[in-house]
Amino acid sequence: MIGVALPGLVISTEQGQLNGSGLEGFYRAGRRLLSRCRLRVAGREPLPNQARMTGADGSRFVGTLRTASAPGPDPDVMIERIRHADGTERITLRSWAAGPLRLPVEVALGTDLADLGAIAAGGAGPDLPATVHDSGLRWSRATGSASVTAHPPPAEALASAGLLRWEFVLPPGGSTSVELRVRPDGAGPVRAVGRTAADPLASAHATGDDPAVSALLRTSVEDLRALLVRDPAHPTDVHPAAGVPWRCGPAPAEALAAARMTLPLGTRLAAGTLRALARTQRPGPGPRAGMIPGPGRDTGPHLPPGCTGTEATLLFPVLLAEARRWGLGAHEARELLPAAERCLAWLRTTVGNGTYVPDPHPRGPVRCETQAHAHRAALLGAELLDDFGRPGGDWLRQWAQRLRTAFRRDFWIDDPAGGRPAAARSPDGRLVPRLSAAAVHLLDTGLLGGGTVAPGLLDPVRTGRLARLLGNPVMDSGWGLRGLAATEAGYNPFGHRAGAVHVHETAIAVAGLAATGHDKEADSLLRGVLAAADAFGHRLPEMFAGEQRADTNAPLPHPAACRPAATAAAAGVLMLTALVGIRPDAPAGTVTLRPVRSAPLGELGLTGLRVAQKPFSVRVSRLGLAMVEEAADGLQLGA
């Protein structure tokens, strides 16, 4: 159970006690401030009764206790613990005894002040010695210090044992509380970005025939808010961390992808993310000038690791162009335009006199999804340049046309079943014929002006074949899209890129299939993810096992998955808005709706979205007809 309000984080088990095992504890900025917090009342630990998340940032644990005064098996004391990622825990005792109860209470505390990475690698180390400090205890090491203060102050604080003790007398029906506050030395409480005026996300809501849509959208927005972090050097710029507990630091490709999927919630997150990443661009001259650096990414058993920096560099102008369509102001867009131009200049330099975007590694493969990212960047980037009267758009369009022609010739594998796209081409021209979820990026072509969808690398016939492949049970697990087809060599349902379901890629597939009219396949994947979301309490993890769905099983968590994760949370927003098919062009003052005609979830209403920087609400009927219920003055419904 993970509560998040970055830079604060708290990890608990359903038992409620913090025992210092594994990753348990309170964290701030990646350092564990408190690892143990064991409660005893009247000399015994409460019996765990219920544990649940109260939101993205907190959890509630309820336990019971039967004292010696209880005449039968019924408990006469209830203990509630409300634990928050901001570093607070409130312990409340309620008595249902017939007479007054004298209840000694003690809390055993301890910490190693270890970094999260060291804990994950098994190098946490022993608990540190405590000292009595203020109304609690304090621990210190060379890298920093932390303390726990209590209100009301304890009657006794024992540093050697790490104990705080109280003694309360509760009347019948009475209650009392203790609040513990965990802080690094010199630091105040966590001020989560998502709970301040800097929150860049609109408070959207979903209603409809399927009750799952409301919970999914609410939880998605809460999790995204919990993952927001500030650029340390420019605190007004906010962007999402990749996920917790493993990836709280910068992840450019994931941040851009999450910001893009959440454009229906406003453009402020996109603007902050773009500004923060523009400051990381590599300077020139040189072949990497204009590139946004990013770490490598495992791409499965058949290809070497990929470069997320390439993906981020190609996604940057796409996000800026689409944010402009959703309502990003001309002034903000113009300030970001030079960084987008540098990304597009990198693309042109990298392609050179060739056709394809090569792998950054020497003798690396030419990857299918990289060409899809590059083609989309070229078309949307060209329109962005045209809108601001900048040169370069003609070359980008001409190259994109050459790429389309070559890709359809060089990357398609013909077979009796209708063929498939190759995953990559090796340097000697051989095709890598693996069917993986990376192919969904061929369906993600991007939004142009006037609410039109950009052309893709595949023609309609090949797009239809890809849709059928994605809808086949070898790819569709029933819970979402497998990372690798179950029939491929090296398939592993837990494989990070070898069979596990990635929620982000499934959402891209749902949106792409819906946009191209392949409702049946989109419906199946969508329903699968909604069922998985229900099993995960609507907080979708970054990935989970690609085991085949059956009536008697549930999706299996992946032990290395982030939960919550920015792209998984943003995927919930993308899937629901894709059913409505919102295609805005704020500079032109229009919005076009292309809802999924099959209305897979019945009636669906979305309120509190943002188009042209104003509230936007829309409803889709059970017949698949869309109606705008709220929009900016002067915004016209396009044909």
Task: Give the pLDDT confidence of 441-493 residue by residue, as tens digits.
Answer: 999 999 999 999 999 999 999 999 999 999 999 999 999 999 999 999 999 99
* C-beta of residue 280 within 8 angstroms of C-beta of residue 293: yes
* C-beta of residue 113 within 8 angstroms of C-beta of residue 32: yes
Q: What separation in angstroms does the CA of 387 have from each of 523, 587, 639?
A: 36, 10, 22
How much is the average pLDDT of 580-597? 95
Per-residue confidence (pLDDT) for residue 178, from 0 to 100? 97
pLDDT at 193 over 80: no
Q: Please give the Cα distance from 197 to 199 (Å, whole number).
A: 5
The amino acid that residue 561 corresponds to is A
pLDDT at 195 over 70: no
* C-beta of residue 396 within 8 angstroms of C-beta of residue 357: no
pLDDT at 190 over 90: no
**Which residue(s) pair with 297 in the sheet?**
306
pLDDT at 189 over 80: no
pLDDT at 334 over 90: yes
Q: pLDDT digits over 55-111, tens only? A: 999 999 999 999 877 677 889 999 999 999 999 999 999 999 888 999 999 999 999
Q: Return the ∠ at Cα 47 (arms to 58 and 151), rounded to 5°.
A: 50
Give the orientation angle of helix 330-351 with respect to helix 308-326, to 10 degrees. 150
pLDDT at 114 over 80: yes
Of 110, 107, 137, 106, the residue nearest 124 (C-alpha)? 110
Per-residue confidence (pLDDT) for residue 194, from 0 to 100? 66
In the three-class reduction of DSSP (H, G, I as helix; E, B as strand; rest coil), residue 10 is classed as strand
Per-residue confidence (pLDDT) for residue 186, from 0 to 100? 77
**Which residue(s) pair with 590 in the sheet?**
585, 636
The torsion angles phi and psi of 465, rounded to 5 degrees, stand at -65, -45
Burial of 39 (0-12, 13-18, 19+ CB in 10 A): buried
Please report, rounded to a whole number, the percentage of residues in the chain having pLDDT higher than 90: 83
The encoded tokens of residue 406 equal 């070559």
pLDDT band for position 197 (50/70/90)? low
Q: pLDDT digits over 516-564, tens only? A: 999 999 999 999 999 999 999 999 999 999 999 998 889 999 989 999 9
The reported pTM is 0.92
Q: pLDDT digits over 500-524, tens only? A: 999 999 999 999 999 999 999 999 9
The torsion angles phi and psi of 441, rounded to 5 degrees, stand at -65, -20
**Which residue(s) pair with 34 in the sheet?**
26
The secondary structure of residue 84, as a DSSP letter, is E
Of 251, 197, 104, 225, the residue nearest 539 (C-alpha)? 225
Q: What separation in angstroms does the CA of 289 have from each of 276, 313, 343, 346, 362?
A: 17, 11, 8, 6, 18
The secondary structure of residue 389, as a DSSP letter, is T
* C-beta of residue 63 within 8 angstroms of C-beta of residue 79: yes
Give the orientation angle of helix 330-351 with respect to helix 393-410, to 10 degrees. 50
User: Domains of the chain, with CATH numbers?
Assistant: 2-184 (2.70.98.40), 205-630 (1.50.10.10)
The secondary structure of residue 161, as a DSSP letter, is T
Residue with tokens 């340390």, as numbered in its chain: 232
CA dihedral 530, 535, 540, 544 (to 10 degrees): -100
Per-residue confidence (pLDDT) for residue 94, from 0 to 100? 96
The answer for residues whose C-beta is within 8 angstroms of residue 562's C-beta and 6 or more apart is: 242, 243, 244, 245, 246, 247, 541, 542, 568
Per-residue confidence (pLDDT) for residue 338, from 0 to 100? 97
Please report, rounded to a whole number, the percentage of residues in the chain having pLDDT higher than 70: 98
Of 356, 348, 498, the residue nearest 427 (C-alpha)? 356
Q: Please give the Cα distance from 525 to 214 (Å, whole number).
A: 18
Report which of residues 53 and 250 the model is more confident about: 53
Per-residue confidence (pLDDT) for residue 235, from 0 to 100? 87
Of 138, 228, 226, the residue nearest 183 (C-alpha)? 138
Q: Please give the Cα distance from 43 to 65 (Å, whole number).
A: 11
In the three-class reduction of DSSP (H, G, I as helix; E, B as strand; rest coil), residue 339 is classed as helix
How much is the average pLDDT of 224-228? 94
**Pairing outcome for strands 636-637 and 590-593:** parallel
In the three-class reduction of DSSP (H, G, I as helix; E, B as strand; rest coil), residue 534 is classed as helix
pLDDT band for position 361 (50/70/90)? confident
Q: Please give the Cα distance from 432 to 429 (Å, whole number).
A: 10
How much is the average pLDDT of 346-354? 94
* C-beta of residue 177 within 8 angstroms of C-beta of residue 166: no
